[in-house]
Amino acid sequence: MSRTKPVNLLLERYGTTHAEEAGVRLRNTPAPLYQLLTLCVLFSVPIRADMAVDAARELSRAGLRTPASMAHASWQYRVDALVRAHYRRYDESTSTALGEGAQLVLDRYKGDLRRLREAAGGDPVRVRELLREVPRIGPVGADIFCREAQGLWPELRPAFDRRARSAARELGLPTAPEELADLVDAADLPRLAAALVRAGLAKEDTAQVLRAG
Q: pLDDT per position in the chain (213 positions), as tens?
A: 455 777 888 999 999 999 999 999 999 999 999 999 999 999 999 989 999 999 999 999 999 999 999 999 999 999 999 999 999 889 999 999 999 999 999 999 999 999 999 999 999 999 999 999 999 999 999 999 999 999 999 999 999 999 999 999 988 899 999 999 999 999 999 999 999 999 988 865 665 655 555
Strand, helix or coil for residue 22:
coil
Name the nearest CA neighbour of 7 among 132, 183, 135, 182.
Answer: 183
What is the pTM for the complete model shown?
Answer: 0.92
Q: Rounded CA gap, 22 and 36, in Å?
A: 9
- Other CB atoms within a 10 A radius of the CB of residue 61 amount to 13
- Residue 213: the pLDDT is 53
* Cis amide leading into 135 (omega within 30): no
Distance between CA atoms of 103 and 98, rounded to whole angstroms?
9
pLDDT (0 to 100) of residue 24: 96
Could you tell me if 156 and 124 are in contact, meaning their C-beta atoms sit under 8 angstroms apart?
yes
